[in-house]
Every structure is written in structure tokens, then in C-alpha cells.
Chains A and B, each alone.
Chain A
Amino acid sequence: MEYLRAGRLLRVDLTRRRATIEPTAPHASLLGGKGINLKLLFEGTGADTDPLGPENRLLFGAGPLVGTPFPAACRTDVMGKSPVTGHYGNSGLGGYLGAELKFAGYDNLVIEGRADAPVYLSIRDDRVEIRDAAALWGLDTYETPVRVREDLGDPGAQVVCIGPAGENLVIYASIMSGTGNAAARTGLGAVMGSKNLKAIAVRGGRGVAVARPLEFLQACRGLLESIREAMIYEQMHQIGITRVHDREMRGLYELLGQTWEGQETIREEAFMQEHIERRVGCFACPLACFDGYKISGAGTGTAKCSPYGDLTWDLRNNDLMVFWRVYVDCQRFGLDSRALSNILAWLMTVHEHGLITSSQTDGLEMAWGSPEAILPMARKISFREGIGDLLAQGLSKAARFFGPETEDLLLMAKGSPSDMHVTPIKTRALASAISPIGEDAQVQPHLDIVPARRWAKLGESAAFEESIAKYRARAERTVGDREAADPRLTAGKAALVRKDEDRTNIADMVGICSWMTSFMGLPVSDGDIARLLSLGLGGEVTPEDLRNASLRMHHLERAYLGQCGQTRRDDRLSKAYYDRIRPGGRPMPELGLNRDELERMKDDYYDLMGWDRDTGLPGREILERYGLKDVADRVTY
């Protein structure tokens, strides 16, 4: 019997309408979740794969801890070749799908081919059905799961689905649960739509075995206690992260130096307190970070974290009700709200520069903060109405249409639309440039952000040096380089990014939410993960093993990018990333970066990884050292 892992993956070929079961044991060195997904993506797709063609694979993976009481062991990694970037696509969702997949006896799910008509997939342990979805096609992501459960006569089925955006192959489409969990980045909802797959329903009764049950429970109790003791916990547990996020947005915009009338009146917490219906959370999560709203006349649903800022600050919109309305559209239609934020902010910038007129945008004047510009856009894009049809095909294409000057105003990394409040201090800029998906919001080394803020306030002074002394000491402890905390220097930044990537990689492989870790000021560490894996698996796993698995996956991820034709020159940022930091409206290039500095940090990064400096890719020697000889034999770059 396998412990923690189900030991099986389910492969569904929609073209041939056939399902097969295979063992996952051959991939165990990649731990699970994202690691195994990646191996399956590498084996099945490459440079020639059309992201929206039947040959693409859509992968779902639940790591070894998923389904156990480990805090927030809820994550489902979702992967495929991306229609947004044209190479690697990766996202993930919380909620309940991953745990149910494990209960049904599967670590991973591979979907291949294309159904000849709309279908949905039903998995009940070993019973796998491809069912007709003609009656579901066109429904939004709130209605679809309800209807699927009715169709199956099983209120306990866990369902994820696409909305109209995915059906219409909008490249920024998401995959959603019925209660707001979203795999929104890199356009995997469009991949699902291209397969004519409307929904996936899972129900399991096989369970997840644990080698040492009582000790595992005791260790979970210890983890819950330490999470509760964290300073931030009580606040987040009671009111979510609105207060923290509100403060964060103000800090970021101080560094960006963009001010506009009305920004002071944005109050996330007040909005939340006024409208909250109830707090909801994901499987096994002790935090429950989702704010559930039922706002009369404006829509229902759940929200947390980034969308509040994406659709207010980033669009110079201070009406949170406008945010809520357009966000509910995104959720219902299955559209990545972060991509929408970037699209709108770009159109508004382009409009400000006088490069487009309202006649090019269906008569809408794309003025900053304009509700008339914001409110209809989720629908237009999702249903490909008017200007929405062009935007649905992606920003690069839209920019070519509007002219080369508009292209310079795009905020993108590797073809993926960025978070509009990204403040490209050196770690953050490097993390975006090097990110396999062109920005992973979970990779944000914290160590140099406070020093950057201090520098912006204090400048060259004894007070500045004093205020960052403890950050220098921490930098010395964590990456062995005091200068890593100095926001003006490139030194040590690659090491900080690497460390944070390992943190998120490990969380994504074992299947826990990275919010349990230092990212949110919570205490779950590699050591905790290793300890609980050891108790669960019945064999010793060390933190070193986890870091090795993270590196192994990271090399494989990079090899996949290489297979898709990506090299060093593609680790780049769009022009708008530069000169972006302007506290008080004054450019402060020493906190941001120039192209030389980025190239220097990339050298450092490739050196740390053992990748070739010219290509930025892993060669045979490093791949073999990490047990990836089969990958080395296969790569053609």
C-alpha cells in the first residue's frame, strides 16, 4: 500500500474517449503535484505543440500532503502549454478538487485530445465517464457546478469548470470552482475550452493512507498551535487580508509615485466589514482568507487579496462597488481578473498618451478610473464582443493593431501581463524576468522591500544605514551576503530569488498553500513539511531532500522552456518595467534597475543554478546530477 500518495494517475483521451490508469511511482523523485505535472508536460508537449490544439495536455496534480489534515493541504497544480506566452503555462487553485482527487485514488490527472462536442468529465473512484455537456455550454462558473451535481445526483461532487471566456478561447480564461477558487494565470481555461471540456467533477471514497496516524495528528496540532501564535494570524483569521493588503497597496504606490485624486478614499477593510456575508476557506485551511459577499444588485461571490488592488488602485478607480461588479463578471465568465486589470490599465495609459480614440474602443472613452470603461470590459472580452474580440487574442496582438508606440506601454514579462502594482525593485524585477511563467505573485523575496522604502524616505544617511542594519544581518544569515539587503546593489539578489523559488516550489510540489509559509508571516517551514511527510510516508524525508526535489523540478522546468525555444534573451521585461520606481514622482533609478543590472543578476542566477550563461539553459551535466538523465537525452536545444 502507498502512503500519502494515491500511487496512480488518470489519463483521459477525449478524442478516443478512453481513460487509462498508470502508476505515479516512476515520478516520485519529483514529489508530486507540480513536479509530476511538469514531467508529464515535458514528455507530451514541446515546441510544435499548439496550445489550443488537441495535442496539448491539460494537467491537474495534487501533491502527497493534499487530502491530509496538514494546514491548507488543498492545492491543485494546473498545467499545460500556455496560449498566453506560447510556452510554459502553470497555475493552481485551492478549494476542494485536489483533496477529492486524492480521495478518488489519483495523484494526477492528464487530459489529452479534444472531444468532438461539449463534454464534462466525471470521476468517481475507478468509474470514469465522459458525459454530454451540451446543456451546460454557455453557463457561467457559478451555475455550472450546481448543474453538474444535479446531473450526477451527487451534491458531494467537487467540480471545476470554465465559463464563457474559456468556451470562447479567450487566452486569459481561467478554470474555476463554483465558489471562487481560480486557476487564472497563463490561460489554462482556454486550453480546457479548446478540448471542449466544460467541467470536471470528482468524488472519491478510497481515501489517503497515513503511515503513522496518531503522530501525524499530533504534529498537525503542533503546527496549528504555532500558526495561531503568529502575530498576523488572529487578524487574518477574523478579517482576511483586507487591512494588510490595503496597507500594502499604499506602500507600493508610494514607491511607484503615482498619485491621483481620490486614492485616499479606497478602504478595503471598510468595504469588507460593510458587505461581508461570511468567511470561507479551502480544504484543511486554518485561515479561511476568502471574503464572501452577497451584495444586493451588485452580485455575489468570494474575493481575497489581489483583485481588490488590481481593479481599484491599478485603474485609478476608487469606487469599490465598480471593482466588485466587474470582478463578479470575471468570476462568472471565468476570466483572469489580473489580466483584465493589465488590459484596462494599458488601454487607459494608451488613451492618456493620445494613441487611441473612443472610436477604436466601441465608443468607450478609456479614461483612467472611468466606470463606463471598466464595467463592460469583462463581458466584452469573455464574449468577444466588439473590441473584446481583439483583446481576447492577447495584448501583443492588440498592441500590433494599435501601433508600435502602444507596445512600449505594455507591462509584461515573457508575454504574460504583469501585476500592475508590481514595483520592480531588483529582486522583484529579476523574479519576473526569470520566472518560467513571466511572474509568479508568490515569489516575492521580502528582504529588500523595506530597505527600498527606507531609502526612498531617508536617502544616503546614517539613519538609513541604521534602519537597514537588521536586514543586512538577516541577509547574511539567509543567503550569506549582507549586501543582498541593500536595494541599490545587484549583489545577492539572485540568491534571494532562488530561496523564495524553493519555498514556493516545495509548497507546490507537496500541495500546501504557500500562504502557510513566511510569505504571509506564518511559520510553516521546510522542516515542518519534511517532518510531516516522514510521518505520513513512513520513511525519512529531510529538508535537504525537499530542496533537492525543488532544484530537480526547477531544472526540468527550465529544460521545458528550452524545449519550447526559450533562452536567455527571453528572460526579459517589457520596456515599461524600467524607470518605474518614482517615489514622490521623482525617478529613483538606483532602486529600480537598468538593462545591465538585469543582465548581471541573470548571470548570478544562472551561475547559482549551474546553467549555461549564454543560453540560460541546463546542460547534460547538471541534469544528470539531479537524476534527469532521461530529460538530458531528450532535450534538443
Chain B
Amino acid sequence: MPQHIGVDHSLCTGCRECEVVCSLRHFGECNPDRSAIRVLRKESEGLAVPLPLVCQHCDQPACLEACPVEALSRSPETGRLTVDGSVCTGCGSCAEACPAGCLFMDGKDDIILCCDLCRGETWCVTLCHSGCLTLSDGLAETGEVRVQRLADIREAEFQRAVSAASGGK
């Protein structure tokens, strides 16, 4: 089972630290539009519900099936999904196919971003104060189960059709 970033959204305080940490680590800039992890936020009646979403590296990923140019593949070494930026056309089919919408478009380069666990220290986990994000070995449950849980929360709290707009440009 590939490692991934586990999400317990009940602990999230919505601080967006993970978003800026991710883009800073990968692009040298703090920019949620360039982050592979994003925090959806619903505000109503003076209260906010945050929901962080990040690739769960499923075993049978819908995104991989959906990619028309085979830009997504599974790394033989890590078992994780990776994006070949030179092949990706930025069509967004993979993000649409993911039940929870855990893949995001790079707001500047228009290619898909997929969590690579920073290829070392996972900075969003390191700097998450709430314990919402954890580095997980994926043994407890499959990626599909995790993604479905995030998708259910998303459907209950956010309207997918609307909130998808907050994922990309």
C-alpha cells in the first residue's frame, strides 16, 4: 500500500497552512492555486466548515483511467500516482473523475498537481498544528474507502458542482 497524506477533517481549523507550505516546497512561492492540497471552506451563519483534500493514491484510481494522454502513472518504486508534466494537457478529466476531487490544477502552468509526499519530509504534515493531516501507510483502509469518505463529506457539506470551481481556475 502506498503512503499518503491521511485527512481527519473533524480536526481541521481551516488555517490553510498546508496549502501555502505545499506550494512553497514545490514552487518557491506561497500560492494556494499551485498547491496539491487544498482546503475547501463553506461559510454559513457565521461559522465555517473546512475540508482539506489531497490525493489518496488509490489502488484502482478513477483518475488514471480517465486521463486521455496517459500523463498519470503509478511509480513502480513508491506505488504512488505521479503526473508527467510534459505529457499532461491540463484537460482536468482526472480531477473530474476523482469522486472527491483530490487532484488540482496548477493555477500558473495549467497542469495537474498530484501529491508526491515532498519526496522526503512531508511539510504539510510537519506544519499541520491540528493533527488533521498525518503521514499514513494505508494499511487500515484502501484509498477507495478514504476517497469515498472525503467525497461523502464533500457532498454533504459542499455542492460538488459548485465547489469544483474553487479547485482550479
Contact = CB atoms under 8 A, between A and B. Distances in A.
A472 B45 CA distance: 49
Interface in A248-262: none
A155 B31 contact: no
Given A206-B31, A221-B126, A281-B14, A301 B24 contact: no
A69, A99, A205, A284 interface centre (most CB from chain B within 10 Å) = A69
Given A69-B17, A207-B30, A146 B165 contact: no
Contact of A155 (B14, B32, B165): B165
A178 interface: yes
A301 B21 contact: no
A237 to B, nearest CB: 7
Contact of A288 (B15, B23, B43): B15
A560 B46 CA distance: 36
Nearest to A156: B166
- The CB with the most chain A CB atoms within 10 A, among B13, B34, B130, is that of B13
A153 interface: yes
Given A103-B32, A210-B24, A281-B14, A288 B46 contact: no
B28 interface: yes
A279 interface: yes
B15 A301 contact: no
Given A206-B31, A301-B45, A280 B24 contact: no
A436 to B, nearest CB: 31
Interface stretch (A48-56, A212-220, A445-453): A212-220
B157 to A, nearest CB: 12
A280 B47 contact: yes
B130 A288 contact: yes
Contact of A213 (B15, B28, B130, B163): B28
- In this complex, the interface size class of chain B, counting residues with CB under 8 Å from chain A, is 35 or more
A314 B23 CA distance: 46
Contacts of B34: 207
Contact of A281 (B15, B32, B45): B15
A281 B162 CA distance: 24
B16 A180 contact: no
Nearest to B129: A286
Interface string B120-140: 000100110110000000000
Contacts of A103: 30-33
A213 B25 contact: yes
A68 interface: yes
B-side binding surface: helix, strand, loop or mixed?
mixed
A507 B15 CA distance: 19
Contacts of A67: 20, 30
B90 interface: no
Interface in A193-242: 204-210, 213-214, 216-217, 220-221, 224, 228, 237
Nearest to B38: A156
Contacts of B47: 179, 277-278, 280, 292, 294, 300-302
A351 B23 CA distance: 59
A140 B126 CA distance: 39
Contacts of A287: 129
A288 B23 CA distance: 22
B20 A68 contact: yes
Contacts, number: 138
A145 B43 contact: yes
B36 to A, nearest CB: 15
A169 interface: no
A237 B11 CA distance: 11
Interface size class of A (residues with CB under 8 A): 35 or more
B153 interface: no
Interface string B26-68: 0111111110000011111111101000000000000000000
A425 B19 CA distance: 44
B2 interface: no
Nearest to A294: B47
B74 interface: no
B91 to A, nearest CB: 19
A220 B43 contact: no
Most buried by A among B10, B40, B127: B127
B165 to A, nearest CB: 7
B54 to A, nearest CB: 16
A213 B118 CA distance: 13
A284 B20 contact: yes
A332 interface: yes
B16 A99 contact: yes
B44 A217 contact: no
A96 interface: yes
B30 A68 contact: yes
A54 B166 CA distance: 35
Given A208-B29, A277-B47, A279-B13, A69 B129 contact: no
Residue in B20, B41, B45, B163 whose Cβ sees the most chain A Cβ within 10 Å: B20
Contacts of B10: 278
A153 B165 contact: yes
A598 interface: no
A237 B166 contact: no
Interface string A141-181: 11001100000011110000000000000000000001110
A208 B43 contact: no
Contacts of B119: none
Given A146-B44, A206-B31, A280-B48, A96 B16 contact: yes
A155 B126 CA distance: 28
A279 B46 CA distance: 13
Nearest to A1: B29
Contacts of B30: 67-69, 102-103, 207-208, 210
Given A210-B29, A213-B25, A155 B162 contact: yes
A125 B2 CA distance: 38
A237 B24 contact: no
Nearest to A279: B13
Given A69-B30, A210-B29, A179 B48 contact: yes
A286 B40 CA distance: 18
A178 B20 CA distance: 22
A209 B15 CA distance: 19
Given A155-B163, A280-B48, A288-B15, 15 more contacts: A67-B20, A69-B20, A69-B127, A96-B16, A142-B45, A208-B20, A208-B30, A217-B21, A217-B127, A221-B126, A277-B47, A285-B129, A286-B15, A288-B13, A288-B129
What 5 A-B pairs come out closest when comparing CB atoms? A207-B31, A286-B129, A301-B46, A288-B13, A156-B166
12 contacts: A103-B31, A155-B162, A155-B163, A179-B47, A204-B33, A207-B108, A217-B21, A217-B25, A228-B129, A277-B47, A283-B16, A288-B13
